[in-house]
Amino acid sequence: MTGNAALAGLTARMADRTARIGIIGLGYVGLPLALRFSEIGYSVVGFDVDPGKVTDLNARQGYTRYVGNRTEEVRFASPFVATDDFALSAECDALVLCVPTPLGKYHDPDIGYILDAARSIRPHLRSGQVVALESTTYPGTTEEDMLPELMRPDLEVGRDVFVVYSPEREDPGNAQFDIRRIPKVVSGVTPACLAAAQALYGPAVDTLVPVASTRVAEMTKLLENIHRAVNIGLVNEMKTLADRMGIDIFDVIRAAATKPFGFTAFYPGPGVGGHCIPVDPFYLTWKAREYGLHTRFIELAGEINRYMPDFIVEKLMDALNGARKPLNGARVLVLGASFKKNIDDVRESPSLLVIERILAKGGEVILADPYVSELTLEDGRVLTPVAADAATVAGCDAVVIATDHDAFDYEMIGREAALIVDTRGRFPASDPKVTRA
């Protein structure tokens, strides 16, 4: 095939929906994307190295509350198969990499999953395919790191194979914005690659946002998440100051949010968690060192957010002291283990840090979370959540609202709890039982 013919053929197959889509990584990003492409009529192959996921999905069973838990059926509208055999990637017209990008031991970026995925599909790459990376990473990853591991000498990027970067914009648990409705940033290594990105994502997403380069797209994703991390750090610092001054920070935020311009409301909590906000800033601070820069503002926000679990436990100790009870030996009910409400994702959740600090000071932790079946702490201890019923609430010396799932009965909790340490603003600060943290 010539370059124009390869792109024309790919574009035609995407347009008439005869293209086969391969999704590499069937987690919180990959599985919803696979469902979306299936919904609009494409045949989909899902690749994952976890045999449990492959087995579950071939049996049409999900494994996350975001798309259905293990007892719920996952419905694909068109042919779908899950596999760990990357030879099947040769049968796909598009390959979308949705693999994790965690941090290493010393908070350095770990792009090993991206490079492994590229190496896995390299032997099976053929002319007329588009390879898209969606994983969050630092600027330069697509072209400087992934591309050399992906391409073979007999294939030319932009002529035979089209390599693109389009960062995921998932918000688990947010029913208002799904893949179709969230504008999607797209970029390509060459202009032909960008055209392939538009052909790939155009049928699935209402609004595409083309940008000049993959580096721009990579930096865009980091800016989005760093913007949140910095503003959460700011409001968490404001919370500690407002607490010292006897001011309810939630009242302040509600009043400030009435300004119709120049202000966006961010809310305090026990810190930051999840796959992006605690991780992504380190990708940019690491890359910045290559250019001799120190991202002080970003790192300061991270320090503030990491302090919040300690602040919460200090407020818990103060509340218990007011009732003439030490934390050592106290029964503390922690509500919520996931990093945000109404989902089951506990990755980097500040709730874990709150629990670990309570245990370190001799407190007994009872955990309630309707979305989590068990929680493994860093020291290997396993907590099995219980129901947050009236007897459980009344039987504890204090209740800490770490994650404010809507499933909790807050009216009952307010009635039965001896003390409430509220990190989410669910209860009025004027309630004598309530300590804001």
The residues annotated as belonging to the active site are: 276
Residue 68: half-sphere exposure toward Cβ, Cα within 13 Å = 15
Closest CA to 353 of 416, 305, 406: 305
Query: What is the CB neighbour count within 10 angstroms for residue 142?
Result: 28
- How many DSSP H helices and E strands does the chain contain? 13, 15
426 within 8 A of 420, measured Cβ to Cβ = no
For residue 150, give the amino acid letter: L
341 within 8 A of 407, measured Cβ to Cβ = no
Residue 27: half-sphere exposure toward Cβ, Cα within 13 Å = 17
Buried b (16+ CB within 10 A) or exposed e, 101-136: bebeeeeebbbebbbebbebbbebbbbbbbbbbbbb
93 within 8 A of 56, measured Cβ to Cβ = no
45 within 8 A of 108, measured Cβ to Cβ = no
Q: What is the 3-state secondary structure (H, E, C) of 376-411?
A: ECCCCCEECCCCCCHHHHHCCCEEEECCCCCCCCHH
Backbone phi, then psi, for 118, in 5-degree steps? Answer: -60, -45
Closest CA to 379 of 401, 400, 353: 353
**What are the start-end ranges of the H helices in 91-213?**
112-121, 147-150, 191-201
H or E element: which one contains 14?
helix 3-16
Cα 21 from Cα 101, distance rounded (Å): 22
